[in-house]
Amino acid sequence: MPDAPEDDYVDHPIRSYVRTGGRARPTHRLTPATLLIGHTSPRATSVGRQEREVLSQCRGVISMAEMAAHLGQPVSVLAVIASDMIDAGLIGVRPDSDTAAGPSRETLQKVLHALNHL
Amino acid sequence: MLSTTSDGNHYLAPTVVESVKILVVGSFGVGKTTLIGSVSEIEPLRTEETITQASEGIDELEATPKKTTTTVAMDFGRITLTDEIALYLFGTPGQRRFWDLWSGLAEGAAGALVLVDTRRLADSFEVLDQLETRTSLPFVVAINQFPDAPSYEPDQIRTALDLDDETPIVVCNAKNRNACVRALATLVRHALKTR
Ligand SMILES: Nc1nc2c(ncn2[C@@H]2O[C@H](COP(=O)(O)OP(=O)(O)OP(=O)(O)O)[C@@H](O)[C@H]2O)c(=O)[nH]1
Ligand SMILES: [Mg+2]
């Protein structure tokens, strides 16, 4: 890939900046296909409205793209909020979801097998 | 506004630990959203990003370079393929000016399904060009056969689109689930060959 990962989804930095209280880019690689998961007992912290909205969508395993669509926000904006929430221990990610290296051969074989039997 | 769905499909199964994505690219109106809807287990969803970029010319009042703001929508769907793996299909317009937006999507993707309308073959040149020059993604060309479209032999399409001999070409019908699933399987088989 010619572009560095930090260029992803930050194409309207000004709007993101305003909506996310000053932070313009996420520290985690959170793509539309990244799977988020709520912790069963999130650390007790007082959270703001945006964080509460995210938590309300995190009662199971859900992709960034789905959450963004449900919340009516661009993925780029959600990525900044969710990234901070991961750092704060409020939500987690499935580490094997949408890795930068792409799916393994073994995973692709499973995908093909499943498609052939749909 | 929260859309609280009670259809039980809001979340993936808790056993899902891995996601794989495929890009569905093609020029406007070629059938991307239709294809995604045909195979997705959820109603296709949409997110939007705003891109601001310099455009041609000078703003006459401000005497500064003009900027245009474009909203780019991305439609997507998902299929839970095994207890552990969910497949995501992302539909994006593949044109050059949207590259910033879909470059992030391309990273880590299993491959791209390029939908082509034979009535407007030239519209696909730019999309194919972007894929070939800016990514190393394996891709398959899927002819979305509209009823009133001329039908060509795959070899004619290969020549017209200047495709490698290795690039699979399949005839598809974006409205038909089985045809779409077969096209996706062809892509994954091709991806396995190229690595
Ligand atoms: N008959 C027929 N019509 C189709 C087929 N695929 C798409 N259409 C129609 O073509 C139109 C455009 O399809 P979409 O799926 O919206 O295309 P798209 O690529 O998502 O379009 P944009 O997102 O606007 O770029 C719709 O009216 C579809 O109903 C097909 O395989 N057969
Ligand atoms: Mg569409």
- The 3-state secondary structure of A10-67 reads CCCHHHHHHHCCCCCCCCCCCCCCCEEEECCCCCCCCCCHHHHHHHHCCCCEEEHHHH
- Specify if A71 maps to a domain: yes
User: Does residue A68 sit in helix, strand or coil?
Assistant: helix
Distance in Å, alpha carbon of A116 to nearest chain B alpha carbon: 7
- Specify if A103 maps to a domain: no
pLDDT of residue A14: 41
- Specify if A56 maps to a domain: yes
Residue with the bigger pLDDT between B181 and B68: it is: B181
Determine which helix (DSSP H) or strand (DSSP E) holds B160, and give its type and residue range: helix B154-161
Contact A15 B50 (CB under 8 A): yes
- Specify if A1 maps to a domain: no
Domain that holds residue A79: 16-95
Contact B49 A115 (CB under 8 A): no
> Separation of B100 CA from ligand 2 center, angstroms?
18
Q: Give domain B18-193's CATH superfamily.
A: P-loop containing nucleotide triphosphate hydrolases (3.40.50.300)
* Residue A5 in this model has a pLDDT that exceeds 60: no
Question: How far apart are the C-alpha atoms of B144 and B146, rounded to whole Å?
Answer: 6
Q: What is the DSSP letter of B12?
A: B
- What is the value of ipTM here, to two decimals? 0.89
* Count of structural domains, chain A: 1
pTM beyond 0.95: the answer is: no
Chain A residues whose CB is inside 8 A of the B105 CB are: 31-32
Model confidence at A45, pLDDT cuts 50, 70, 90, reads low
Poorest-confidence range of B126-135, B167-176, B178-187?
B126-135
Instruction: Quote the mean pLDDT of chain B.
Output: 88
Give the pLDDT confidence of A57-114 residue by residue, as tens digits. Answer: 889 999 999 999 999 999 999 999 999 999 989 999 999 999 999 999 999 999 999 9
From the CA atom positions of chain A, what is the Rg in Å? Answer: 16
Give the pLDDT confidence of B7-57 residue by residue, as tens digits. Answer: 578 999 999 999 999 999 999 899 999 999 999 999 999 999 887 766 665
Contact A99 B108 (CB under 8 A): yes
Distance in Å, alpha carbon of B41 to nearest chain A alpha carbon: 12
* Residue B1 in this model has a pLDDT that exceeds 60: no
Question: How far apart are the C-alpha atoms of A14 and B38, rounded to whole Å?
Answer: 37
User: Does residue A4 sit in helix, strand or coil?
Assistant: coil
What residues line ligand 1, using a CB cutoff of 6 Å?
B 26, 28-34, 91, 93, 144, 146-147, 173-175
Residue B86's CB: how many other CB atoms inside 10 A?
A: 25
Residue with the bigger pLDDT between A13 and A48: it is: A48
Q: What is the CATH number of the domain that holds A71?
A: 1.10.10
pLDDT of residue B56: 60
Give the start-to-end residue ranges of the domains of chain B: 18-193
